[in-house]
Amino acid sequence: MIEGFSRQNELTMRLLLVFCCRKTKFGGVRWEEFDLDEAVWHLPAERVKNGDAIDIPTRALEWLRELHHMSCNSQWVLPAREMQHRMRPHIQESTQPVALSNLKNNLPDMPYFTI
């Protein structure tokens, strides 16, 4: 685990890199889109920019199962921790950049990678 970074944030960042997807795409994902037995993310057409559904195979099952346990039976892979005054029941788009900004000073300089 990365010091000062929650395990949920760490797993989320790893999965963003594994799936090569935008944080907004992964932030709004529901467990119903994942088939953990078949190791596939079924991304429905309405959530894909070009309107074509995509099946994304994955080997990151251990991380997904850990997030599933952390989500406490939520329909969301990344549920909001608190629902007070929130319009979305899942993680906010700003959560990952805020978490990463806390670690930015400890990251190596990566000119072709932005946070």
Residues of the chain with pLDDT > 70, as a percent, come to: 64
In a domain, 58, yes or no: yes
Residue 106: what pLDDT?
58
Residue 55: what pLDDT?
94
In a domain, 113, yes or no: no
In a domain, 2, yes or no: no
What Å distances lie between residue 32 and 28, 40, 42, 90, 108, CA to CA?
12, 11, 9, 14, 36
Residue 71 and residue 65: Cα distance in Å, rounded? 10
In a domain, 90, yes or no: yes
In a domain, 50, yes or no: yes
The residues, ordered by sequence, that sit 6+ positions from 93 with a Cβ below 8 Å of its Cβ are 23, 24, 27
In a domain, 66, yes or no: yes
Domain coverage including residue 47: 7-100
Residue 34: what pLDDT?
95
**Domain count of the chain?**
1
In a domain, 65, yes or no: yes
Nearest C-alpha neighbor of 26 from the set 99, 76, 88: 76
